[in-house]
Amino acid sequence: MPPIHIALAVLCMVIWGVTFIAIKLGLDHFPPLTFAALRFTLASLPFLPFYRTPGVAWRWIIGIGLFLGVGQFGLLFLGMKAGMPPGLTSAVVQTQALFTVLFAIVILKERPRWQNLAGIALAFAGVLVIAGYLGPIPLVPFLLVIGGAVCWGFSNVLTRMAGAKDPLRLIVWASVVSPVPLFALSWIVDGRAAVVDSIVNVNWVALASLAVVAFGATNIAFGLWSFLLRHHRAAMVAPYALLVPLFGMSSAMIAFGERIDTAKIIGAALILLGMATNSWPERRTRPIEAK
């Protein structure tokens, strides 16, 4: 990759890592499901005039919108609101890569490489280590974040099955599906007064966090990621995702003084090692030259 593309890849990871700080700040004002609904509303509606049609079958749009928007981010935001620290969340949610592999094996009938199986084992060990030493963190928020990672993995498989030629068009239209069920669930769970009050009495911190989550993490970062995937092999681009927890955990330490004990560091390291092992490129044998 040329230096400018490497810089873009790192910038994308910085945005995604810092997004967990923005989520934490936004959740101090908005109910979690309302926050997720607003995020997808802003990430989709301004861009619909440029993408008049979804470009793929509606079943993929609806499926991805429900699992990515309602499932992944709904559970992620609920987990963070319930007490999951942003830095640790940035590492734990990366287990989505391993759930993606598992769903691809079951649904797409892909044959796993040894790297896939080893990566799954390492990441699962990391999850067990963190779960065994949660300390003051309740178990339920941790499980909600894991549930979000499961939904993310399933949405990744749906995205692959959709076979969209324009990934940004796909994410814009899939984002249209998410707000209505998220608002409805928030209305039921949080109550009408909480939902309306958070929108009517919004402050600049909440607006800034919403802008980062909607435009920065969704449109800008995803656009950069799609650009890199169009110009380089996935095996070359995907490992940069390992930087997200690094920026997420370090920014959480700076912004909130979040401290992560040794057991959680070991668990996060095992998850990242599992991701790295899973992303390791397959060795290609050189063809025998004819003599």
pLDDT digits (tens, 9 = 90+) for 84-123: 999 889 888 888 877 888 888 888 887 877 877 888 788 8
Model pLDDT, residue 257:
86
Contact criterion met (CB below 8 Å) for 222 and 64: no
Model pLDDT, residue 276:
77
Mean pLDDT of all residues in 143-153:
93
Per the model's pLDDT, the better-predicted residue between 75 and 168 turns out to be 75
pLDDT-based confidence at residue 268 (cuts at 50, 70, 90): confident
Question: Is residue 287 predicted with pLDDT exceeding 50?
Answer: no
Model pLDDT, residue 222:
76
Mean pLDDT of the chain: 85
Domain-by-domain residue ranges, the chain? 3-279
Contact criterion met (CB below 8 Å) for 8 and 224: yes
pLDDT-based confidence at residue 179 (cuts at 50, 70, 90): very high
Question: Is residue 247 predicted with pLDDT exceeding 60?
Answer: yes
pLDDT-based confidence at residue 178 (cuts at 50, 70, 90): very high
- Identify which of 88, 120, 214, 104 has the alpha carbon closest to the alpha carbon of residue 156: 104
Model pLDDT, residue 234:
58
Mean pLDDT of all residues in 14-23:
92
How many other CB atoms are found less than 10 A from the CB of residue 280?
16
Question: Is residue 34 predicted with pLDDT exceeding 80?
Answer: yes
Model pLDDT, residue 291:
42
Contact criterion met (CB below 8 Å) for 37 and 198: no
Model pLDDT, residue 200:
93
Per the model's pLDDT, the better-predicted residue between 280 and 67 turns out to be 67
pTM for the structure as a whole: 0.84
